[in-house]
Structure 1
Amino acid sequence: MSDTGKIAQTPLFDRKANIRGYKLNKMAMALVEEHNRQAFKDNEEAYLDRFGLDAVTKAAVMSRDWHEMVRLGGNLFFILKISAIDPTPIISIGAAQAGMTPEDFIKNRLGK
């Protein structure tokens, strides 16, 4: 397979990433339920511990390091559930994925 069309620094979400990110994705999907969102807000670290997240993954979630969560196997559609807690604008997440400030992301990627 050629490298044509690949974006530098973009983690591939393949079977290996899916397996690696299973606990992270399971935790994030559980946030669709109100009682889980409340538990996350009340004691984020304890909530993450319920899902057996390792220290690196917990640190990525707690610091809202979106790029690292994806690198660790987080499915973007699932980790967006985390962004609803704060709330974090999707532009900020896109900018983090691209390694840009939100302002540069808007200008360079959205042409505004």
Structure 2
Amino acid sequence: MTSPDRIPDTPLFDRPRANAGYALNKMAMGLSSPEGRAAFLADEDAYLDRFALTPDQRAAVKARDWAEMVRLGGNLFYILKISAVDPTPIREIGAAQAGMDLQEFLDTRLGKVTNG
């Protein structure tokens, strides 16, 4: 069980959350090797089966729900390894972490106004 977060909507990566996210982080760290990346891309389900992910962690990975992965104990530095294989632009992860859609994130957080 993770501890209560002290800052609203900001998961604190403390010992309980780190312990809860161990398998998730181990899975993501496995993507550091060419073999891990190849296995993930060839059969994501089989790759995920190698790790003791909780059903919620597995669902978050499959959905590429970045904020949920962090809430479930994922360390962002490890979770970003998934985005490198996927590939998911870092700005999309930033938007998810901020609870915004990409356009709102670009407009408000990065000061970039785009027209499609």
With normalisation by structure 2, the TM-score equals 0.88
Residue in structure 2 matched with residue 65 of structure 1 by the alignment: 65
Matched, 1:103 2:83: no
Deviation at 1:55, TM superposition (A): 1.3
* Structure 1 segments unaligned to the other structure (5+ residues): none
Secondary structure at 1:26 match in 2 = helix
With normalisation by structure 1, the TM-score equals 0.91
Higher RCO, 1 vs 2 (CA within 8 Å, ≥6 residues apart): 1
Secondary structure at 1:84 match in 2 = helix
Deviation at 1:45, TM superposition (A): 1.1
Secondary structure at 1:92 match in 2 = helix
Give the aligned residue type for 1:73.
G
Q: What are the equivalent positions in structure 2 for 1:25-104 lying under 5 Å apart?
A: 25-104=25-104
Residue in structure 1 matched with residue 24 of structure 2 by the alignment: 24
Residue pair 1:45, 1:58 contacting (<8 A) in 2 also:
no
Residue in structure 2 matched with residue 13 of structure 1 by the alignment: 13
* Structure 2 segments unaligned to the other structure (5+ residues): 1-5
Deviation at 1:109, TM superposition (A): 1.1
Q: Alignment length, in residue pairs?
A: 107
Percent identical pairs in the alignment equals 62
Give the aligned residue type for 1:62.
K
- Distance in structure 2 (CA, Å) of the matches to 1:97 and 1:111: 17
